[in-house]
Amino acid sequence: MDQATPRSLSPYRYFSVAEWAKLRADTPMTLSEREVNTLKSLNDPISIEDAEAIYLPLSRLLSFHVEARDMLYDVRSRFLGTEEGSMPFIIGIAGSVAVGKSTTARILKELLARWPGHPRVSLVTTDGFLYPNAVLQAEGLMERKGFPESYDVGALLRFLSDIKAGRTRVSAPVYSHLTYDIVPGEVMTIEKPNILILEGLNVLQSRALPKDGKEVPFVSDYFDFSIYIDADEADIRRWYLERFMRLKETRFPDPRSYFHRYADYSEKAALEVAEGLWDRINLVNLDENIRPTRPRADLIIGKSADHTVREVALRKL
């Protein structure tokens, strides 16, 4: 988190892990250790204690936000003399590659779905809105995959607009991390959720406004709450390299894997490949596009070198 601004002047209120954990109040933990282990991502050593201290209070806060938003809808309906129901509550989760966004998203999805009333909670990643590799190759963008220009932003905005409009069934493309590409003809169907979690590198990204004054919505315009997962650059780099090396042993040997060619590389050669990918692509994307969006988040989760959370920052109202 940015230490340049004095915290007394910061728009955020900061909490140690112990302070944040107390905010669970008497909320019961509804996930088991086994379930947490199935939800965490590769190379993300989150424990049941971490989930209870960080994500249980966060799910409580988010539930309060959903309730308050629903009350606002009721007030608006009375004012307008209509009986419009509330629309899905959308949560955006942003952060670098390998920082733990997927783990956060999956754990929050399960915790929120187990609150009283059992709201329908859906999780979508922006990977499905990447252009297919064939398009990226034709446009010379394979080395920019994950950068803002590699996404079909129009399709993503239409998806979010349909969700917010309350459409009964909305489809999203499916991405395969094995083949590193969009799965042709395959979609996931979202059926009018109470809560939608959208996770991705650049979900808080803004774009240059057009000079002609035309309306240009941002993805984050559809968010009711946003979260940024933060860590020191050196730690994220190490996590990325460690994950690459683990995938070399676990997923790359599959002939269907896009990275199959690296399966038989020596450790030294594979590490050099991973370092090159980090330096040329992921670090540049982090510096130019991802980290600058951090101040736009409603909540920032700061991680330590061992992947545990060191601090939580909540934007002041």
d(CA 79, CA 124): 34
If residue 182 lies in a helix (H) or strand (E), which one and from where to where?
strand 181-190
Q: May I ask the CATH class of domain 8-315?
A: alpha beta
**What residues contact residue 34 under an 8 Å CB cut-off, 6+ apart?**
none
pLDDT tens-digit map of 113-140: 999 888 999 999 999 999 999 999 999 9
Query: Both tokens of residue 101?
Result: 């966004």
If residue 176 lies in a helix (H) or strand (E), which one and from where to where?
strand 170-176
What is the reported pLDDT for 2?
Answer: 55
d(CA 178, CA 251): 7
If residue 226 lies in a helix (H) or strand (E), which one and from where to where?
strand 225-230
Q: List C-alpha distances in Å: 67 to 62, 73, 79, 111.
A: 9, 10, 19, 16
Specify whether the CB–CB gap between 104 and 301 falls below 8 A.
yes
Specify whether the CB–CB gap between 136 and 145 falls below 8 A.
yes
Residues of the chain with pLDDT under 50: none
Is 0.85 topped by the overall pTM? yes
Of 276, 268, 221, 224, the residue nearest 248 (C-alpha): 268
List the domain boundaries for the chain.
8-315
DSSP sequence for 74-123: HHHHHHHT--PPPPPEEEEEEE-TTSSHHHHHHHHHHHHHTSTT---EEE
Of 291, 220, 300, the residue nearest 58 (C-alpha): 300
